[in-house]
Structure 1
Amino acid sequence: MKVFSRVSDIISANINDLLDRAENPEKMARQMVRELEEALIAVRREVVLAIAAERRLTRRLEQEGVLAKDWQARAEEAVKKGQDDLARRALAKKREHTFLTKGLGSQAELARAHTRRLKEHLNLFQEKVTQAKRRRDLLIARHRATRAEKKMRKPLLDLPPTGEVGGLARMEEKVEAAEAEVEALREITEAKEPLEAEFLEMEEAEALEKELRELKEKVRAKKKKAQRRSPA
């Protein structure tokens, strides 16, 4: 299916390489995410169509089953009344609907399997789109930080070999301030993923609980020791 192929192409693309070669990396990153979102809409539409087709087959299967039972009951009624010819015709009808039921059952099973696979693909693509958005935001932030750092450092290359000490001191202060901003932006953009942070928080909580238990055991031990030393 073309839509699945397009999504796979976007997901597997080397985003870093594409952004490095792009004239406007931010525009390229946003465009890639937009294409993923459009493809995701198409995948959802395919899933909806598959579910609708599966339900139509299921309803048809149920209807044919009911008709087969009805003709079976009519055949039995005809036999009770001694109308064998009528019973044969009723059984023939019953067999037609039974045959259709078997065929529709196989089709319905295939449709259910197809729908199940499409839903799995949809869940995968939704997760990929979420990941792509996070990568887009991170890459754009890094690109802006790099661009700002380059812009900040370029004046240093244009400085004359000599100059007033006061002017150099002021320039040094500006450079240090700009470097501090770049480092702060790096700290923000290169922060740990939320999931990793949650695990670190969990580990810290476990370590704290362990230390608390050890402290309680130490206090109880001291108390018992003091009780043994005290006169009865």
Structure 2
Amino acid sequence: MSIFSRLTDIVNSNLNALVANAEDPRKIIRLIIQEMEDTLVEVRSSAVQTIAERREIERRLDMLARDEAEWQRKAELALSRDREDLARGALQARAHVAKTRETLDLQRQQIAAGLAQQNEDIAKLQAKLADAKSREQALVSRHGLASSRVKLRETLYDERIGDAFSRFEQVERNLDVLEGRVESYDLGRRSLEDELAGLETDEKVESELDALRARLQRRASPPAGS
């Protein structure tokens, strides 16, 4: 199982309650970082044990290689002395050692592959841990700002503020009524500007009327000398 899936299970088991209860995100962030640090220590400790196991297997492989070479030498010696029976026994012993060495070498390869995966996981975890620590302060600042905004909104929607705005609106309505009363007194009264504008209009109409009469008289009068 990947260390990240294990880490996810561990963190989720501890965070679900905090998230559900909307706990302070600083606690959640600190818990995540702590879990990552603990997992990193655990994986490094496991890697140390795996490295020690790999080195032990490598020492055993060296010994088996020497034993295999020694049985080969003995088989050749026996055959050179016309002891085919001893040579056959030495070759059988060498084959048994070789089989053991092959099995152990396969185990060494598996351990090496596991170590490579552990090294990759450790590198990824270290990068994620560094990123989490760098983002921790930014997230804490965001939480503080959000909390301040919530308090401000709560103040804006406070009942006392609502009552104050209600009284303010009542004052505006009273002013509307008072201004309406003032305007009602002026209904039916012509202002000075209206009267002057009316005089100018009447004068223009009379002027146009006089000009019209003059044109009609000229048309009705017979031409001179007729």
Q: State the TM-score bracket (shorter-chain normalisation).
A: 0.5 to 0.7
Matched to 1:29, the amino acid is I
- Over the aligned positions, Cα root-mean-square deviation in angstroms equals 3.1
Q: Which runs of 5+ in 2 are unaligned?
A: 166-226
Q: Which amino acid aligns with 2:112?
A: R
Residue by residue, what CA displacement relative to the aligned partner does 1:153-210 show, whole Å, maximum 9, x if unpaired?
Answer: 8777677959xxxxxxxxxxxxxxxxxxxxxxxxxxxxxxxxxxxxxxxxxxxxxxxx
Cα deviations across residues 125-167 of structure 1 (Å, max 9, x unaligned)?
11111112222221012212333455578777677959xxxxx
Q: Where does residue 30 of structure 2 map in the other structure?
A: 30
Instruction: Specify the SS of the correspondent of 1:23.
Output: coil
Conservation of the 8 A alpha-carbon contact between 2:64 and 2:98 = yes
Runs of 4 or more consecutive aligned structure 1 residues displaced over 6 Å after TM superposition: 10-13, 152-160
Give the deviation of 1:2 after TM superposition: 7.9
2:82 alignment partner, SS class = coil
Judged with a 3 Å threshold, the aligned counterparts in structure 2 of structure 1 residues 8 and 153 are, in CA distance, closer, same or farther, namely closer
Matched residue SS, 1:71: helix
Q: Measure, in 1, the Cα distance between the counterparts of 2:10 and 2:133.
A: 13
- Displacement after TM superposition at 1:107 (Å): 1.6
Q: Does 1:118 align with 2:109?
A: no
Instruction: Look up the SS of the partner of 2:108 in the other structure.
Output: helix
Counterpart for residue 76 of structure 2: 76
Structure 2 CA distance for aligned equivalents of residues 87 and 22 of structure 1: 79
Residue 63 (structure 2) aligns with: 63
1:104 corresponds to which residue?
104
Q: Which runs of 5+ in 1 are unaligned?
A: 163-232
CA displacement, residues 59-88 of structure 1 (integer Å, 9 cap, x when unaligned)? 222211111001111111222233322222
Aligned to 2:91: 91
CA separation in 1, counterparts of 2:87 and 2:127? 59
Give the TM-score, by structure 1 length.
0.57
Q: 2 CA distance for matches of 1:52 and 1:141?
A: 45
Percent identity, please: 31
Q: Report what 2:139 is aligned to.
A: 139
CA contact (8 A) 1:68 1:97 kept: yes
Give the number of the structure whose alpha-carbon radius of gyration is greater.
Answer: 2
User: CA deviation digits over 1:82-103, x for unaligned, max 9?
Assistant: 3322222222211111111121
Q: With the length of structure 2 as denominator, give the TM-score of the two structures.
A: 0.58
The 1:124/1:3 distance shift into structure 2, 3 A limit, reads closer
